[in-house]
């Protein structure tokens, strides 16, 4: 058994996934994890791996690690509908990233003005079980958000 | 014995393409079947039981995707999964 420390990809406050008003995330269909109510403006990679998916509109990205570990960061809810408005991609899909590598810049005011909820799920969609998770305030690329046992 | 593989071409119905929500619903259903299931778009083929892999297809509404399913429950699986892909899952 190995433990993988998944860092917070966003500055903000940790919210239980069950309290996210989107049933796919709340029911953990996308995977177990937590949500962050973000206070910053840049989303970073939570782990070292391959940035296998970065949506052109910047609202979500996925990192693949060795051994089938997959992490998905979704910035805000239903934000695919904004088609990139309020988001600016910093990284490039396919890039190798470190924990803390900046991926997307976003503007909360613009996103909320368009009527979207800013709660941002961070889920483990591949192998591994979450054994510990943070609560309270977390800092992007610095604090552990949850620990995966694989 | 040669394992039978069923294949079906489907037009993607979700209005925002195969993004996080529809991919999660689709993969959750795919995981409920025992056989190997792949989803292809153009020349890229991925494991249909991995959300992140499915997202990497970048499939948009109206795109043609191909489902390939093996296993004892392949017929049931392909009917269920093909109809999910054709629906607008949001």
| ipTM surpasses cut 0.85 | yes
E-state strands within chain A = 3-7, 12-16, 32-38, 42-44, 49-54, 60-64, 70-74, 87-89, 96-97, 102-106, 120-124, 129-133, 137-138, 144-149
The CATH architecture assigned to B5-86 reads: 2-Layer Sandwich (3.30)
**Which tokens hold the place of A56?**
């052109």
Q: Active-site residues of A: which are they?
A: 74
Chain A residues in contact with B20 (beta carbon < 8 A):
24, 30, 60, 72, 74, 80
Our answer to whether residue B19 is catalytic in this structure is yes
**Which tokens hold the place of B87?**
């629906």
Cα distances from A59 to residues A119, A120, B30, B36, B72, in angstroms, run 12, 10, 25, 30, 38
Q: Do residues A104 and A92 touch, judged by C-beta distance below 8 A?
A: no
Active-site choice (B8, B19, B29, B71): B19
Give the model confidence (pLDDT) of B43-53 as tens digits.
999 999 999 99
State the pTM of this model.
0.95
How far is Cα A99 from Cα A6, in angstroms, rounded to an integer? 8
Q: What's the sign of the alpha-carbon dihedral B45, A74, A139, A108? A: positive
CA A24 to chain centre: 15
Domain ranges of chain B: 5-86
Give the model confidence (pLDDT) of A20-78 as tens digits.
999 999 999 999 999 999 999 999 999 999 999 999 999 999 999 988 999 999 999 99
Given B21, B50, B55, which is nearest A126 (Cβ)? B50
Residue A14, CB-side half-sphere exposure with 13 Å CA sphere:
19
Counting one residue from chain A and one from chain B, the pairs whose CB atoms sit within 8 A come to 47
């Amino acid at each position: 058994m190995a433990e993988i420390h998944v860092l917070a990809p966003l500055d903000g406050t940790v919210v239980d996934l069950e309290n996210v008003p989107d049933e796919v995330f709340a029911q953990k269909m996308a995977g177990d994890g937590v949500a962050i109510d973000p206070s910053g403006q840049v989303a970073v990679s939570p782990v070292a791996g391959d940035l296998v998916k970065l949506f052109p509109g910047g609202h979500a990205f996925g990192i693949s690690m060795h051994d089938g570990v997959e992490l998905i960061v979704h910035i805000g809810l239903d934000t695919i509908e904004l088609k990139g408005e309020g988001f600016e991609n910093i990284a490039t899909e396919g890039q190798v990233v470190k924990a803390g590598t900046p991926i997307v810049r976003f503007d909360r005011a613009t996103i909320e003005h368009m009527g979207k909820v800013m709660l941002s799920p961070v889920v483990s969609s591949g192998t591994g079980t979450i054994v510990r998770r943070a609560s309270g305030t977390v800092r992007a690329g610095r604090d552990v958000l949850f620990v995966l046992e694989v | 014995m040669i394992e039978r593989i069923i294949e079906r071409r489907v037009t993607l119905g979700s209005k925002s393409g195969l993004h996080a929500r529809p991919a999660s619903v689709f993969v959750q259903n795919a995981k409920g079947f025992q056989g190997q299931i792949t989803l292809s778009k153009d020349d890229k083929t991925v494991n249909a039981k991995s959300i992140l892999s499915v997202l990497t297809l970048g499939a948009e509404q109206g795109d043609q995707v191909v489902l390939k399913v093996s296993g004892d429950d392949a017929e049931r699986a392909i009917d269920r999964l093909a109809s999910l892909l054709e629906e607008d899952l949001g």
